[in-house]
Chains A and B, each alone.
Chain A
Amino acid sequence: MADLAPGARVRVNDDWPETRGPVHVRTPHYLRGQPGTVVRRFGEFPNPEDLAFGRPAARRVLYHVAFDQPSVWQEGSAGDQLLVEIYEHWLEPA
């Protein structure tokens, strides 16, 4: 995927690899399928999903992504946000 710029609208993949076997995933359940906005690009880190199993780990871009907190939970205070580190392979343009 091409680099995402701050302000880019994205959606977290609605994917549940836990249902297909043993995995190590850094994308929280509560954000799967949620729309968000890229805040900053951190650079590349070895993919922890491979590191956790001692496999060769390709470097993946990590982003800080903001989510509207009340939209995620259907409750809360307008304007509150969740700010979460998400790897590029979990994001698609929205």
Chain B
Amino acid sequence: MSVLETDGEKLLIALRELLAAKGLVSNAEIAERIALTDAANPGQGAGMVAKAWTDPAYRALMLQDGTKAAEELGIPMRGAPPLGVLENTGDVHHLVVCTLCSCYPRAVLGYPPFWFKSAAYRARAVRDPRGTIAEWGTVLPEGVKIHVVDSTADYRWMVLPRRPAGTEGWDETRLAAIVREGDMIGVTVPALPGA
């Protein structure tokens, strides 16, 4: 059977046609939303992180109101849940998970990595966070506590990672290039290329 003939696809087409027929959501609006979702990518979040690393006022805004900080960089946030940003420090490291389903800061990071929705990641991140991030080779310095952020309801969470040593004097573009999606949900920390 072709994927276009599955029950799910038929249901989707029927729903879209009903929404359009009733004037609730037009096909153009659906297409616009799909385009926005497809266009979102980790480079947007990385741009926010790099700006926060170089601009103290922007960092303060980002920690106060992630949605406003994203919009300031031109990232479309209309219709997206409110964005919260939590900062990693020398004392606390944050790890983001959604144990109930797949809540992810898609507006600023794009589609989640495939494992983010896996039962294994969701179950293990809250029970054994240190063992979980060790799968990525991430080992926290002595004394650093982990705060596991379980996105259960109406917010979406992103991590502002620590700026790595050796990047003094780098501009935003160069800094943004070293920030990966894993750094912004806390499974990894930014590292210099080749380090």
Residues in A lying within 8 Å of B, measured CB to CB: 26-28, 30, 42, 45, 48, 62, 66, 69, 73, 75-77, 79-87
Contacts and interface: CB of A to CB of B under 8 A. Distances in A.
B129 A84 contact: no
Given A28-B100, A76-B128, A77-B130, A85 B155 contact: yes
Given A69-B148, A85-B155, 16 more contacts: A27-B152, A28-B126, A30-B127, A45-B153, A66-B147, A75-B127, A75-B128, A77-B130, A80-B129, A80-B145, A81-B146, A81-B148, A82-B147, A83-B86, A84-B149, A85-B154
B99 interface: yes
Contacts of B127: 30, 73, 75-76
A86 B152 contact: yes
A83 B152 contact: no
B151 interface: yes
A79 B148 contact: no
19 contacts: A27-B152, A28-B99, A28-B100, A28-B150, A62-B153, A69-B129, A73-B127, A76-B130, A77-B145, A79-B145, A80-B130, A80-B146, A81-B146, A82-B147, A82-B148, A83-B147, A83-B149, A85-B153, A86-B153
Interface string B51-92: 000000000000000000000000000000010001000000
Contacts of B148: 69, 80-83
B100 A62 contact: no
A77 B185 CA distance: 20
